Structure 1
C-alpha cells in the first residue's frame, strides 16, 4: 500500500494588546464547521511557514509578521495509508485590513477567555490552549477511520531547557 502525506497549517492570530484572537466561523457546507483559526493545505514546494502565512493572508486579508511555531498534530490511518500533519503557529504581529467577504467564513475578533464558549470542533477546542502555553507540543494519533477508533495516541510538550 502506498502512503499519502497531507501537510496543513493552522495559525492563531493574537492581538496581544487587546487580548483577542481572530477566529473564523466556517459554515456547514465547508469541512470542520464552527469557529477555527485560519489555515489550510501547504502547496508544494512552498515551506510550511510560508504556507501558514499565505493561508492567513488568503483567509483573513492580514499579513502576519512575527510567527512562532507551536507544535504538530498528526493523524495516521493505517487502513488508508494516510498521514495528515498540521503544523501550528501563533502570529503576534500583523498588518492589513480584514477581508469584507472572507472565503472560508465570517471573521471574529474575540477575547481569549471567551473563545472556548463559541461552537467549534472538539479537536480545535482541545488544541486552542496550546497556542498560548510555553514550549511546543507534538500530538500523534493513530486512528482507524472505518471504526472511528483511536488505536494509539502520543502527546508530548517540549521546553528547551538545554539552552538554560
Structure 2
C-alpha cells in the first residue's frame, strides 16, 4: 500500500499585551466545527513555516512578523496508508486588519482566561496549552479510522536545557 502524507500547519496568534488569542469559529460545513486556530495545508514546494504564515494571512488578513515553532502533531492510519502531520507555531508579532468576511469562519479575539468556555474539538482543547509551554512537543498517534481506536500514542516534550547549560546559541 502506498503511503499518503499530508502536511499542514496550525498557527496560534497571540496578542501578548492584551493576553488574548485569535480564534476562528469554523462552521460544520468546513469540518472540525468550533473554535480553532488558523492553519491549513502546506503548498508544495513552499516551506512549512511559509505555509503557516500564508495560512494566517489568507484566513485572518494578518501578516505575521515573529513566529516560533512549537511542535508536531502526527496522526497515522495504517488502514488508509495516511500520515497526517500538523506543524504548530505561535505568532507573537503581527500587523494588519482582520478580514471582514473570513473564508474559514468568524474571527474572534478571545481573552486567554475565557478560551475554554468556547465550543471546540477535544483535540484542539488538548493541544491549546502546548502553544504556551516552554520547549517543543511531539505527539504521534496511530489510529484506526474504521474503529475509531487509538492503537499507539507517543508524546514527548523537548526543552532547550542542553543549549542553555552549555551557553550555545
Residue ranges of structure 1 left out of the alignment (5+ in a row): none
Q: What pairs up with 1:1-164 in 2 under 5 angstroms? A: 1-163=1-163, 164=165
- 1:67-102: CA deviation from partner (whole Å, max 9, x where unpaired): 000000000000100000000000000000000000
Q: How many Å apart are 1:18 and its aligned residue? A: 0.3
1:113 CA drift (Å): 1.3
Q: How many residues in Structure 1 have an aligned counterpart in Structure 2?
A: 164
The two structures have a TM-score, normalised by structure 2, of 0.96
2: distance between equivalents of 1:20 and 1:34?
17
Instruction: Output the aligned Cα RMSD.
Output: 0.4
Hey, which of these two has a bigger chunk of helix by percent?
2
Q: 2: distance between equivalents of 1:29 and 1:80? A: 23
Runs of 4 or more consecutive aligned structure 1 residues displaced over 4 Å after TM superposition: none
Gaps spanning 5+ residues in structure 2: where?
none
Shift of 1:31: 0.7
- Looking at structure 2, the residues matched to 28 and 98 of structure 1 have their Cα atoms a distance apart, in angstroms, of 22
